[in-house]
Chains A and B, each alone.
Chain A
Amino acid sequence: MNRTLIGFIKKELTQTLRDPRMRVLLFVMPVIQLTLFGVAISNEVKNIRLAAVFDSRDTVLRDIYERSIAGTWFIPAKSEEQDPYTMIEAGDADAVLVPPPGGFTRALGRGDAQLQLLVNATNVLQAQSVEGYLQNIIQQTIKDDLNMTPPDLPIQIDTRVLFNPDLKTSVFMVPGVMSMLMIISTMVMANIAIVREKEMGTFEMLISAPVSRSEVIYGKTIPYILLGMSNLPLILAVAVFAFQVPMRGSLLILFASALAFVCTTVAMGTLVSTYCRNQQQATLAGFLFIFPMIMFSGMMFPLENMPTVLRWISYFDPLAHFLGLLRNIMLKGGERTYVITHIVYLAVLAIATVIASFRRFHTTLE
């Protein structure tokens, strides 16, 4: 590495880190955010307000209700309303159990028991889980209360969850939030760094200075790769020590994949910056890229369900590969073929974007 380049990188780093607020944003905020989102966000179903309409003689339904409330899923709903539908509509309850006329217990004795469940399905995911969970509780309660032991099913499926047996949400979510934080800090920062010079008019000065073009490009990208990488140990430490996300694979491989990822995102940021004239444009463009990237990464929505054409897009999504790698390396110890394939994908993406951004950069410089 020559001296001009080192000087350039130093200048870029100083310029970014000079502002103490920027230092806080770059190094403290990701840690706070990861902690915040890691603690707060989950897909677990909790605190669903359940109501049941029963009189004192309806012992089975009472037991079902009490059992449901005893767990973490449900809390009792408070409502002055009597009509189950109105209860939900008024927002006092999320789910209501309605027995047949005469009570559920008596209907069970008659042998034609129908229990109605009303669920607020505004949140699709919750509604489905609530139904399944209540189904189980009802079965159990009927079995215990009426001493009915239905014969076991002839086929038994012994289900085990691998890699995250307790289904801890933080184990799922933390790698996702990690990769999201890294993409925001690298891609947008690199993009803006160049556009700012353009906007200020200092870019012309840079070009007329005795530095070669590749020095400009390297000088404008390497600092952001370094910054992005410096974030990784910080958020990794929070993930492992604060959230007990296991780290079963090799740190070295994790860093290698992070490097490939950060190179890609920084190069993408640079590529986008060649099309932008001011920072407002740059930020918007950043979003146009980052949003689909998050969508197609499989962090929030299952990739399995997307139409095939859209799933192909995920092959071009560095975030999808990186999230896959993070999860595979951290939770599964890094299966060799998978890790190699996806690092290669990332590397190809990195090289392609670097070449493309070099090209674009050269044309804009002329």
Chain B
Amino acid sequence: MSSFVWRRAAAVSRKEVFHILRDPYTLGAALVLPVFMVIMFGVAIEFNVKNVALAVCDSDQTQSSRRLLDTFGSSEYFLIHRVVSPHEAVTDVSAERARAALIIPPRFEKDLFAGRAAEVQMLVDGSDNSTVGPVLGYVGSIQSIASQRIAGFERPAPYELRTRFLFNPELNSRWFVIPGLTVVVMSILSILLTALTVAREWENGSMELLLSTPVEPLEIVVGKLSPYGVLGVIAVTFVYVIARTVFGIPFAGNIAVFGLGCLLFLVTYLAQGLLISVMTRKQTIAMQLAMMSGMLPSNLLSGFIFPIESMPKFFQYFTMILPARWFMRIARDTFLEGSSFFELGGSFLALSIFCVLMILVATRRFKRDLEP
């Protein structure tokens, strides 16, 4: 057996580059997808809910009740539309015409002037997770503002809570989401494309052909994967540049640390893609498996949107075997917190272990499968 020769690996990768270039559609999609995703996410995402449709049934129709409605309406949180009966208000909520309903009883002003507690009812739609939490939060602040405006009531404040939001002082949703997108974008490109490209060679039978040439298996692997690695790097660069220039997201950390994380993650996922393709040898199954083991977890279990700390204990440990979880930490912390390499030592260690492990398993499997 001859040893690894770079020239042969380079030849394989040149062939793969031709293959990619010949198919401008794939290349385009691979490069447009990340750009498209970052811009979409950047423009569309706002967690601070505004303009929640509120159905109001004002049975009181007095100056006080109108001022209460003003308080709701002028808060920017709610978009008010009036309905005639409490029943209609509830129907509006179940027909998704309103996310919440406010019902003001006929004796509202009378109670207020008589010094009794003037009670109104607020019904919040519990079927939509993205609005119910914020709406419940707004109600409390509107209550005290309305009490002050309408009844001139000042609650004595014995203390003042001053909150400093570190690393994202304006609570900008984009700062939270876009650094995490690098992980999602890379996981799509690397794992999926490699799983498919190598599986295709098996499916077409051209893998046998390749193997009967004097090229070593390891050279084939390196040669076939490196163009996709480059593609992944280009995609991340795109995401990074757009994040910095278009959306003005700060990058507090060291770019080399972030880059190292990217590379480790990329190589891990490329190896995982290879492993999948060797195991399945069929594009349809390779794709499904790549989605299940790479895409969905990196979207849903990496802490991208849904925090890991909120998961049950078992899953908190389970996510530790996902490379995406560690890279998510590296990406976020280098962007926003400016963490140094040593602060992220644990994540880097975990990622390196997975990287080495994945390469070993994948090449092992690959070599073994070649023997008849």
Q: Is B106 an interface residue (CB 8 A)?
A: no
Contacts of B209 in A (CB 8 A): none
Q: Is B41 an interface residue (CB 8 A)?
A: yes
Q: Choose the segment among B4-12, B42-50, B261-269, B351-359 that binds chain A (4+ C-beta atoms closer than 8 Å).
A: B42-50
**Closest Cβ–Cβ distance, residue A11 to chain B (whole Å):** 16
Q: How far is the CA of A340 from the CA of B36 in the complex (A)?
A: 33
Q: For chains A and B in complex, what number of residue pairs have CB atoms within 8 angstroms?
A: 326
Structural contact, A158 and B119, CB atoms closer than 8 A: yes
**Closest Cβ–Cβ distance, residue A344 to chain B (whole Å):** 14
Q: How far is the CA of A69 from the CA of B363 in the complex (A)?
A: 48
Choice from B68, B95, B130 contacting A302 with Cβ under 8 Å: B130
Structural contact, B48 and A154, CB atoms closer than 8 A: no
Structural contact, A42 and B167, CB atoms closer than 8 A: no
Q: Is A77 an interface residue (CB 8 A)?
A: no
Structural contact, B94 and A161, CB atoms closer than 8 A: no
Contacts of B369 in A (CB 8 A): none
Structural contact, A119 and B164, CB atoms closer than 8 A: yes
Contacts of B288 in A (CB 8 A): 22, 25, 29
Structural contact, B29 and A285, CB atoms closer than 8 A: yes
Contacts of B53 in A (CB 8 A): 304
Q: Is B51 an interface residue (CB 8 A)?
A: yes
Q: How far is the CA of A104 from the CA of B333 in the complex (A)?
A: 32
Structural contact, B25 and A277, CB atoms closer than 8 A: yes
Q: Choose the segment among A132-140, A214-222, A236-244, A351-359 that binds chain B (4+ C-beta atoms closer than 8 Å).
A: A132-140
Of residues 131 to 158 in B, which have CB atoms within 8 Å of A's CB atoms?
A: 131-133, 136-137, 139-140, 142-144, 146-147, 150-151, 153, 155-156, 158
Structural contact, A22 and B285, CB atoms closer than 8 A: yes
Q: How far is the CA of A349 from the CA of B91 in the complex (A)?
A: 27
Structural contact, A172 and B94, CB atoms closer than 8 A: no
Structural contact, B26 and A301, CB atoms closer than 8 A: no
Q: How far is the CA of A287 from the CA of B158 in the complex (A)?
A: 54
Q: How far is the CA of A142 from the CA of B155 in the complex (A)?
A: 14
**Closest Cβ–Cβ distance, residue A301 to chain B (whole Å):** 5
Q: How far is the CA of A173 from the CA of B127 in the complex (A)?
A: 10
Asked whether A304 and B163 contact (CB < 8 A) given A150-B155, A328-B127, the answer is no
Structural contact, A302 and B311, CB atoms closer than 8 A: no
Of residues 92 to 145 in B, which have CB atoms within 8 Å of A's CB atoms?
A: 93-97, 99, 112, 115, 117-133, 136-137, 139-140, 142-144
Q: Is B40 an interface residue (CB 8 A)?
A: yes
Contacts of A312 in B (CB 8 A): none
**Closest Cβ–Cβ distance, residue B123 to chain A (whole Å):** 5
**Closest Cβ–Cβ distance, residue B61 to chain A (whole Å):** 17
Structural contact, A307 and B124, CB atoms closer than 8 A: no
Contacts of A128 in B (CB 8 A): 137, 171
Interface residues as binary, A269-305 with B (CB distance below 8 Å gives 1, 0 otherwise): 0000000111111011101100110011010111111
Q: Provide a sorted-by-A list of 21 A–B residue pairs whose CB atoms are within 8 angstroms.
A: A19-B282, A40-B301, A46-B307, A121-B166, A122-B168, A124-B171, A127-B165, A142-B158, A157-B120, A162-B126, A163-B125, A165-B126, A172-B129, A192-B287, A287-B33, A303-B130, A304-B52, A307-B44, A327-B128, A328-B96, A335-B91
Chain B interfacial positions (CB closer than 8 Å to A): 23, 25-26, 29-30, 32-33, 36-37, 40-41, 43-53, 68, 90-91, 93-97, 99, 112, 115, 117-133, 136-137, 139-140, 142-144, 146-147, 150-151, 153, 155-156, 158-169, 171-173, 175-176, 188, 192-193, 196-197, 200, 280, 282-285, 287-289, 291-292, 296, 300-301, 305-307, 309-312, 315, 318, 332-333, 336-337, 339, 343
